[in-house]
Amino acid sequence: MDLGDLQHPRPESSIRELSSELLFMVMEHLLPPTQFNLACTCRQLAITARGILERHQDSHKKYRTASDLDPSTVPLLLRSAFRQGDPIPAWHVRSFEVWKDRTTWSDWQIFDLHVPLIAGPDRKPSHLRVSREDARRYLYWFEEQVGEDLDFELIEKLLAQVERGHDGLLKALLFARLERLEDLKFITRSQEAGSCLNSLRTLIAECIKEKASDDEREEEANRESCACNDCTAERDNESEDARMQDDESGCGHMLDHIGKPASHSKLPKSPWPVGFLKIRKMAVGVNSGTWMDDDRDEEPCDFLFLHLLRLPTLNSICFKRLCAWSDGWDWEYNEEEEESKYDVCPKGCSSVKHIFLHGSSGRFGDDQDSLWGAPKELLTVSFRFDGPQEFDGATGTANSLARVQKDSLRSLMWYGYQGSGYRNILGDHCAILDNEEFDHFKRLPAIKQISYSVYDIDLCMQHADTYQRLRFDSEDGRDDNDDQDNIYDGDTCSDDFAVRRVATMFPRAIETLVLWDIPDEEDTPELIERGLVKLIQGGQYTHLKAIFLEATERTTEGADKTEPMYQDAVAAGVAAGVDVYTCSSQKSFRHSIQFTEAPDEYDLKSGIHAGVRPTGWVFDPYLGRRIPPASTSKEHNALWAKLDSRLEMYHAAEFQED
């Protein structure tokens, strides 16, 4: 180093010495987080970045939750995401709400939430267009992300849809590109050609296909690596002369290179686009309270559902009217699709932990174990009646869940169902569970929250003595830890045995117990209460926090409405620190109970309520939705009556068809 340089050090340069114009140009090319950090450095940079920060504020307000109500939104965000325009709007999108698919260019009008779109020749043509070249450019990017070219026929089919005015592919490509997208809500359930869900399924299928190819290549590389390692080991045992000859020929160097452990090899690139890697929440068929609600009849959609489960970081999914193809349907049977559906989503391949299904008829296909076994660790499953069809095959569904997710399942909830009266849920000679199924669920180690039909409990008590003899005659079937008096010994009266059965029939780890439905016998509520008191006081259920009984109290026939029910259970709960919810119990409770919820019209930021729910609404654990906090018994019964009327209309329509 020159001595002069030490005596006269060069002055340090600073970014602040640049002109405002240069500073602005530099900041324009920075990533948004860096723009924020740089603007916070000093006052001068903050002033320079004022225009950029204002654009961030505007984009955050307008596009944090984006929607397709305005037809210009998707093209604008595509240009932003692909850096053909201002990149800031796309960076702020965290949630997207898909209301309706556009199928022609004349559909590219702003959707009015209160007035249906005008149909026919009077509709004005839209000035908006997305060119074939732009759509192809977006597909080129997707091919680069996946690492494989799409089939020529598929590309032509997709581009033809765009040329006709379909916007489904454009939305799906946008979701694949948005790097901070976390939440997707679909009001539409359409799977027609050119729809967003259909296009999304197509893109996910390409990612799955390429991932399978990557897995095969990685497996082959590992086999070759093992073979080369074996070859290297044999070579190490050779004489020094032979090893030197190998090195001179270059063969030894090559073997050393490919013989490295697989852990040192370069990991394959993920076939998933950045947007698909970020999506954590998905809802299909959200009720919006507008004319765009998709109440079409059930159609086979399990293939779509299985594809959505493959999104790499998906945590929760809510789906309306999920069903599989079954015999007797007018829908065309797709043999290739039916045979490949569970190859799409093999056991343990999905990251989903929470599933909420509403309006389902229970037609999940012949192999439910494959469906429910797709998630690696499923924590909560909820079913809610939204009409019009009843849930058929509940016992098989419950057994399948308990079988394939036995080590992880923590919550299984049934909302809005009735096993008696106007029945909207059907099991195997029960609503959901019989004695054998109760004992099956009792052995689940992780279950903490579950709802049971009182109708099923009633049946279990009626059949308890018979079940005792058939099931527990051998020592292998006995569980002497159930009760200190051993419920299997001695000839006790049926009532006493029924009480003990109720006190010991639930999972040991249970924290929240919700009872619903109409009891079949008049003395059932009394026997259940005695059993619950014994359960609370017995000391076996040490994790129990809350028992919900309001629904059974409201629906019990012949009960004296002037005399509060379940008071002994409430008193036992107060003494043991267990909250017992009845129509007359206290309003303040010790424990805060959380339930898995499905998004509704109040959760739609672009909807008629602008994402604002009335103050104080609370979740109803019997209906499976939020209701006003001041709902009286009369108002609550009106909600049940609404469900009953929908079910009655459905049965009447079926009778007329017959």
Which residues face 580 on adjacent strands? 547
Low-confidence stretches of the chain (pLDDT < 70) are 1-20, 24, 118-126, 211-269, 326-340, 420-421, 464-493, 556-562, 586-587, 630-658
Range list of β-strands (E), 3-69 = 65-67
Which whole-number Å values give the CA distances from 622 to 350, 380, 517, 601, 650, in the listed order?
Answer: 29, 16, 9, 19, 22
Closest by Cα among 545, 550, 548 to 577: 545
Give alpha helix (H) positions in 1-131.
3-7, 20-28, 32-39, 43-48, 50-63, 73-81, 88-91
Q: So what's the pLDDT on residue 489?
A: 44
Q: So what's the pLDDT on residue 138?
A: 97
pTM: 0.84
Q: So what's the pLDDT on residue 4?
A: 54
Q: Which residues, at least 6 apart from 145, have a Cβ–Cβ distance to it below 8 Å? A: 176, 271, 272, 273, 274
Question: Residue 148's CB: how many other CB atoms inside 10 A?
Answer: 15
- Backbone φ and ψ for 620, nearest 5 degrees, come out as -95, 115
Please calculate the CA angle 146-150-155 and round it to the nearest 5 degrees.
130
Count of all residues that appear for the chain in the document:
658
Q: So what's the pLDDT on residue 597?
A: 96
* Alpha carbons 318 and 76: distance in angstroms, whole number: 28
Side chain identity at residue 234, one-letter code: E
Structure tokens at 452: 């049971």
> How does DSSP classify residue 359?
S
Residues 609 and 601 sit within 8 Å (Cβ to Cβ): yes
